[in-house]
């Protein structure tokens, strides 16, 4: 390539990066696409790759937070879960829903570990998927159900915000669907999951400080607002 055209491309891409969503001009592919070793090791459960570049949600969520959140925190839940169930071949055949939906069937000595880490693995796997189309509003049947259940999408946002802000300490605000088909918004402590009661998570706000502290520090209210206004996505 001629030197001049190289600089032209460079100039264009730097201009583009100012106007396009960062996911479009992201320079680094997700870790899983770089041919690096898997971040989780050994066992039936594995860390799903982040379905977007770590900087895709900037300026709302910074790349460093995203990388640590996925590569360290989520990976730890997967590794801890695999380690806990390693001596139990029957548990290794179960899905996350089967493990979490019937914790009584998990031996008492690993029950809390499985609850926390299967919950963490499930919650974060859903989270990455729901951040893939930042700002995409609910459509069709779901949009109508939200209107019918909460009054409007604006009221749904208020409910999510209230729920997330009302959590003391670490946990999640989950929007999901119950076994009866009805939509719900509910706070969950720690890494508890709607799967524990056979419900289906649709969109969650992670209010653990690891999800936002580097950028938003103590301002959980700013982070919750940006989650709801800027990055919530319904595909």
Non-local (6+) Cβ contacts of 212 within 8 A are: 61, 65, 220, 223
In angstroms, the CA 51 to CA 64 distance is 16
Should residue 45 be labelled a site residue for Mn ion when binding is judged by CB under 5 A?
no
Q: Give min distance, CB of 103 to Mn ion, in A.
A: 21
- x/- site string to Mn ion, residues 164 to 183, per CB under 5 A? --------------------
Q: Give min distance, CB of 85 to Mn ion, in A.
A: 21
Helices (DSSP H) in the chain: which residue ranges? 3-19, 22-25, 63-67, 75-85, 89-92, 96-101, 108-129, 140-150, 153-165, 213-216, 220-226
Should residue 206 be labelled a site residue for Mn ion when binding is judged by CB under 5 A?
yes
The first and second tokens of residue 189, run together, are 């402590």
Should residue 208 be labelled a site residue for Mn ion when binding is judged by CB under 5 A?
yes
Nearer to Mn ion, 150 or 212 (CB): 212
Nearer to Mn ion, 159 or 206 (CB): 206
In angstroms, the CA 161 to CA 39 distance is 33
In angstroms, the CA 217 to CA 186 distance is 24
Q: Give min distance, CB of 141 to Mn ion, in A.
A: 29
Q: Calculate ∠ Cα 144-145-150, nearest 5°.
A: 105
Should residue 192 be labelled a site residue for Mn ion when binding is judged by CB under 5 A?
no
Q: Give min distance, CB of 207 to Mn ion, in A.
A: 9
Task: Please tell me the count of residues contacting Mn ion according to CB under 5 A.
Answer: 3
The piece of 21-29, 107-115, 211-219, 220-228 that touches Mn ion (CB under 5 A) is: 211-219
Residues forming the site for Mn ion (CB under 5 A): 206, 208, 211
């Amino acid at each position: 390539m001629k030197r001049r055209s190289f600089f032209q491309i460079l100039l264009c891409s730097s201009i583009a990066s100012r106007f396009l969503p960062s996911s479009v001009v992201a320079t680094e592919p997700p870790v899983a696409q770089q041919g690096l070793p898997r971040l989780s090791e050994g066992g039936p459960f594995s860390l799903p790759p982040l379905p977007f570049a770590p900087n895709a949600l900037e300026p709302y969520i910074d790349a460093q937070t995203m990388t640590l959140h996925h590569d360290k925190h989520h990976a730890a839940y997967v590794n801890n879960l695999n380690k806990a169930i390693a001596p139990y071949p029957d548990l290794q055949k179960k899905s996350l829903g089967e493990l979490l939906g019937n914790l009584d069937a998990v031996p008492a000595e690993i029950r809390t570990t499985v609850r926390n880490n299967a919950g963490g693995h499930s919650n974060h796997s859903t989270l990455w998927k729901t951040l893939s189309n930042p700002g995409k509003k609910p459509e069709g049947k779901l949009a109508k159900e939200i209107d019918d259940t909460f009054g409007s999408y604006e009221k749904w946002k208020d409910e999510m915000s209230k729920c997330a802000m009302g959590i003391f300490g670490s946990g999640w605000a989950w929007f999901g669907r119950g076994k009866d088909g009805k939509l719900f918004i509910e706070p969950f402590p720690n890494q508890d999951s709607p799967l524990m009661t056979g419900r289906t998570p649709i969109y969650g706000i992670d209010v653990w400080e690891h999800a936002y502290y580097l950028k938003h520090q103590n301002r959980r209210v700013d982070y919750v607002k940006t989650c709801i206004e800027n990055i919530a996505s319904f595909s």
